[in-house]
């Protein structure tokens, strides 16, 4: 059985959950949503990765808002790996202000896989909060970015948002297994089954 370990770092002004996820057998890992407001916030992440002897394979953005991508450049400088983002949100990377713009970008689409060691997360395109929002899913975990929170969902009042797309996305999420542990872009983790029962945005679909 493939085992993944998830380490959470709260970063940025909003604040954002940045995840370091590794295959426990091979020590290969990915960094999800390094939304650093200050470069100094990277140091605890660097220290953890060094202490655990992890090898970073990818930096993955669940969407393109600045509170999820601002640390892409410093992470890429450190680990020299691709930044992965859905094709529809890639333009956000060119809008980074006073930040290093990633130079090696891997564009994702629905159904792609992000593999590290013997672990693999499937890319689910979940537009609504942004056109290129994604969730990363396997049989136990889901990293939902700003698509799904504990008893809430991401805002859909931005120019790049779509309430109609969010409704379609939430219908897709309702089909996922109840046992999935959901790691959102902000606030605490939750269970998919709990959200189906208690999240008003899912209950009232």
Residues 111-131: tens digit of each pLDDT? 999 999 999 999 999 999 999
Per residue in 48-94, pLDDT (tens digit) is 999 999 999 999 999 999 999 999 999 999 999 999 999 999 999 99
Q: Which residues constitute the domain of residue 176?
A: 4-203
Q: What is the pLDDT of residue 113?
A: 98
Pairing state between β 16-23 and 28-32: antiparallel
pTM above 0.75, yes or no: yes
Domain total of the chain: 1
Q: What is the pLDDT of residue 70?
A: 96
> Could you tell me which of 11, 63, 19 has the C-alpha nearest to residue 35?
11
Q: Which domain CATH number covers 52?
A: 3.60.15.10
Q: Is residue 164 classed as helix, strand or coil in its secondary structure?
A: helix
């Amino acid at each position: 059985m493939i085992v993944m370990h998830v380490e959470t770092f709260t970063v940025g002004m909003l604040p954002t959950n940045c995840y370091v996820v590794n295959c426990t057998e091979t020590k290969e890992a990915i960094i999800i949503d390094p939304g650093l407001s200050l470069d100094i916030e990277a140091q605890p992440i660097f220290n953890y990765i060094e202490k655990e002897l992890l090898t970073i394979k990818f930096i993955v953005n669940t969407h393109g808002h600045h509170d999820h991508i601002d640390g892409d450049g410093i992470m890429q400088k450190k680990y020299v790996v691709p930044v992965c983002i859905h094709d529809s949100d890639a333009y956000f990377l060119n809008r980074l202000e006073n930040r290093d713009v990633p130079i090696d970008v891997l564009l994702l689409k629905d159904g792609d896989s992000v593999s590290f060691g013997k672990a693999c997360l499937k890319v689910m395109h979940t537009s609504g909060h942004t056109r290129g929002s994604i969730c990363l899913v396997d049989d136990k975990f889901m990293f939902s970015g700003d698509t799904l929170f504990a008893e809430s969902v991401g805002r859909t009042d931005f120019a790049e948002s779509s309430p109609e797309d969010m409704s379609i996305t939430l219908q897709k999420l309702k089909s996922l297994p109840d046992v999935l542990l959901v790691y959102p872009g902000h606030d605490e983790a939750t269970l998919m089954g709990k959200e189906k029962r208690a999240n008003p945005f899912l209950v009232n679909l």
